[in-house]
Amino acid sequence: MEANKEVLEIIGQFAIEGKLLGIKSNTEGHINSTFISTFQEGTSLRKYTHQLVNGVVFPHPEQVMENIQAITGHIQLKLRQQGADQIDKRCLQLIPTKTGNFFTKDSEGRLWRTYRYIDGVKTFSVLSDAMDAYLLGGAIGTFALQLSDFDGRKLHVTIPDFHDMHVRYEQLDAAIERDNAKRLASVLDEIGFLRENRSRGMLLIDELKNGKLPLRVTHNDTKMNNVLFSEQNGEALCVIDLDTVMSGTCLFDTGDMIRTGTCTAKEDETNLSKVHFNLSLFQSLVQGYYEKAKTFLTPAETNLIAESGRNITQIMAVRFLTDYLNGDIYYHIDRPSHNLDRTRTQIALIKDMDRQWEDVQKSLHRIVSP
């Protein structure tokens, strides 16, 4: 989507002081449409993030906003109580409209929101440094800790069964059955691999449903580029993209952190010889996470941290392949093979985890059972 007159009109509805200098579109996310504006207020420049929430992915976007308001309020209060510095950089902050709501709707009924833009930060799409991995793990662990006393039952379920592997496999089965995009013949190897791994993939969701894993507040999209790092001192400041905050097992979040933080290539890399699982980054990620989360984690959770990385990589392979077979109706794509490329990187990553599995487990146990 372009930064057109309609976007300008939407931005005008939010309670922002000063003069608009410019807007540009940001194409990083796979789901929502995002614009960054710059305003001049007196002598200072202030930036804002405006987002059109994808109404197909989130059929009840008002509920997404209620969840975000509740958890950002909770985290901001915690930060204030702790006397934290730079609170505006450590938690997303919604900007209200001129009439005091946290969103507005456009002429087609679609929901728009505005956040204060967090400046002076960077994100990673591939990690190479163990210290960054340690800090990333710390940020995800801190997020979980900040919300460990928030009652997850108060949150809306904005995407039902989001991390339910049974449901994701049923969606894949249906996509195979329909073969809408006539792509089935080209993905038989990928389907074979995912079918072989089907029953192992059910472990997390089954342990959650049978009560062996506790229900907590989870972010559900802790991929590495949803963590903002300070450009100034490299500190991991803030976990963003709160759309999928719901209740679940914290292993969904360790899993996505491991999936993205240990992979030596981008999620959509086409040269699979670049896709590896980096064990030393795994160790640093888990160390960083565990130091923050050990006060609340149960043994059942800590024991499954490595498995969670494999599990969430698998669910993403299933979801990308499903979308490829359905004709790319869910994720934004820039090329016809985009969802297939994403599927293949996920499978390559699982295969490399498996090659190193014994060491992965040893590494986990060195950290969690000193």
Residues 213 and 249: beta-carbon distance below 8 Å: yes
Instruction: From the list Mg ion, ligand GN1, none, pick the one residue 316 interacts with, judged by a Cβ distance below 5 to 8 Å according to partner type.
Output: ligand GN1
Report helix, strand or coil for 39.
strand
Binding residues among 192-251 for Mg ion as defined by CB under 5 A = 221, 241
Strands 216-218 and 104-105: unpaired
What are 336's two structure tokens? 């016809």
* Least spacing, CB of residue 220 vs ligand GN1, in Å: 7
Residues 238 and 231: beta-carbon distance below 8 Å: no
Instruction: From the list Mg ion, ligand GN1, none, pick the one residue 267 interacts with, judged by a Cβ distance below 5 to 8 Å according to partner type.
Output: ligand GN1
| DSSP label at residue 307 | H
* Least spacing, CB of residue 50 vs ligand GN1, in Å: 16
Per-position x/- string for 38-57, each x denoting binding to ligand GN1 as judged by CB under 6 A, each - no binding: -------------------x
DSSP bridge pairs for 47:
38
**241 binding ligand GN1? (CB under 6 A):** yes
* Least spacing, CB of residue 30 vs Mg ion, in Å: 7
DSSP bridge pairs for 216:
248
* Least spacing, CB of residue 244 vs ligand GN1, in Å: 5
Residues contacting residue 193 through CB under 8 Å, at least 6 positions apart:
347
Nearer to Mg ion, 187 or 248 (CB): 248
Instruction: From the list Mg ion, ligand GN1, none, pick the one residue 30 interacts with, judged by a Cβ distance below 5 to 8 Å according to partner type.
Output: ligand GN1
Nearer to Mg ion, 241 or 307 (CB): 241
Among 190, 253, 267, 269, binds ligand GN1 (CB under 6 A): 267
Closest residue to Mg ion using C-beta atoms: 221
Report helix, strand or coil for 36.
strand
Amino acid letter, residue 71: I
| DSSP label at residue 38 | E
Stretch that binds ligand GN1, among 23-31, 68-76, 269-277, 361-369 (CB under 6 A): 23-31
Residues contacting residue 330 through CB under 8 Å, at least 6 positions apart:
56, 57, 319, 322, 323
DSSP bridge pairs for 111:
105
Residues 288 and 262: beta-carbon distance below 8 Å: no
Stretch that binds ligand GN1, among 26-34, 87-95, 109-117, 140-148 (CB under 6 A): 26-34
Amino acid letter, residue 245: V
**31 binding ligand GN1? (CB under 6 A):** yes
Per-position x/- string for 197-236, each x denoting binding to ligand GN1 as judged by CB under 6 A, each - no binding: ------------------------x-x-------------
Instruction: From the list ligand GN1, Mg ion, none, pick the one residue 307 interacts with, judged by a Cβ distance below 5 to 8 Å according to partner type.
Output: none
* Least spacing, CB of residue 349 vs ligand GN1, in Å: 13
Report helix, strand or coil for 26.
strand
Report helix, strand or coil for 280.
helix
* Least spacing, CB of residue 299 vs ligand GN1, in Å: 27
Residues 204 and 311: beta-carbon distance below 8 Å: yes
Stretch that binds ligand GN1, among 27-35, 81-89, 134-142, 199-207 (CB under 6 A): 27-35
Report helix, strand or coil for 32.
coil
Nearer to Mg ion, 132 or 241 (CB): 241
CA nearest 223: which of 367, 342, 73?
342
Q: Which residues bind ligand GN1 (CB under 6 A)?
A: 29-31, 57, 221, 223, 241, 244, 267, 316
Q: Which residues bind Mg ion (CB under 5 A)?
A: 221, 241
